[in-house]
């Protein structure tokens, strides 16, 4: 994950998954975004195991302070709130954990900051005309844009997008890809994309990491991924698994073992 995060910046970076890799990837994203507690290793530079052997339970405030924002495969909007109110939550979340009072009362300056950030995010996502529309009346494509706008409203340097094209048709997926490219260009933020739609991944990402049953089987540019027999094995189900093919390639060749 650290290698992926260092690659972020110029264009979105993708985690493409095959087989059971999707479950591993989602667990990874949930750990990085502090929705699940890791049982070993470190997260955002903080060891997940204390000196006494007990586990450190990360909080969402840790994620916010680290500049990480995320969206969800299953969209999590408040249907009773308007689009503007849903989007504003992305900035309001930045105040979480500062003090109990800041979660109840906001200053005039903070309210202006929240409104301005939400307005800019909605404009970037092209949903200004939906600002006063209840979240529960939106289409799937519109809800995806609102969730991304909410993420963009926060003070985040890295966006973790969990299958953002899920539920979108081909036209909406193309438009969403164009939007991601604009986000990176205008916001200069990194985007880590967990995605099954390879047409979207190949078009907008500069670096792709492919997982097969939880193992990293390939990393490279879109061109390198498209030409890789390992990736074709993982996605098309050729004889054997991609992991097995990698293991065979890693074994030293024994003299006389080949004709």
Query: How does pLDDT run across 89-126, given as a tens digit for each residue?
Result: 988 877 765 666 766 777 888 889 999 999 999 999 99
154-185: per-residue pLDDT in tens? 888 888 888 888 889 999 999 999 999 898 88
Structural domains of the chain, ranges and CATH numbers in brackets: 1-67+157-251 (3.40.50.300), 77-154 (no CATH)
Query: Which two tokens mark 41?
Result: 């290793």
**Residue tagged 């690659």 (tokens):** 7
Instruction: Show the CA angle centred on residue 164, arms to residues 37 and 110, nearest 5°.
Output: 70
**Residue tagged 């500062």 (tokens):** 98
Cα distances from 237 to residues 82, 84, 142, 208, in angstroms, run 45, 45, 34, 19
pLDDT of residue 202: 86
Q: In which band, very low, low, confident or very high, does the pLDDT at 186 lie, cut at 50, 70 and 90?
A: confident
């Amino acid at each position: 994950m650290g290698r992926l995060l260092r690659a972020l910046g110029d264009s979105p970076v993708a985690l493409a998954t095959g087989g059971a890799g999707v479950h591993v990837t989602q667990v990874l994203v949930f750990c990085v975004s502090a929705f699940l507690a890791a049982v070993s290793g470190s997260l955002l530079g903080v060891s997940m195991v204390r000196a006494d052997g007990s586990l450190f339970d990360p909080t969402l405030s840790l994620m916010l302070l680290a500049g990480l924002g995320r969206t969800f495969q299953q969209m999590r909007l408040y249907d009773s709130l308007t689009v503007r109110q849903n989007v504003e939550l992305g900035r309001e979340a930045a105040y979480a954990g500062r003090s109990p009072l800041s979660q109840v009362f906001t200053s005039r300056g903070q309210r202006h900051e929240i409104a301005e950030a939400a307005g800019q995010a909605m404009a970037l996502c092209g949903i200004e005309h939906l600002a006063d529309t209840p979240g529960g009346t939106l289409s799937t494509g519109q809800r995806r844009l609102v969730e991304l706008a909410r993420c963009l409203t926060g003070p985040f340097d890295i966006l973790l997008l969990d299958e953002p094209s899920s539920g979108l048709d081909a036209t909406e997926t193309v438009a969403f890809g164009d939007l991601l490219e604009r986000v990176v260009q205008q916001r200069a933020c990194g985007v880590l994309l967990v995605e099954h739609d390879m047409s979207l991944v190949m078009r907008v990402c500069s670096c792709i990491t492919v997982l097969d049953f939880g193992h990293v089987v390939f990393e490279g540019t879109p061109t390198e991924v498209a030409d890789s027999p390992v990736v074709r094995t993982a996605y098309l189900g050729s004889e054997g698994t991609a992991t097995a093919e990698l293991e065979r390639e890693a074994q030293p060749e024994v003299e006389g073992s080949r004709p």
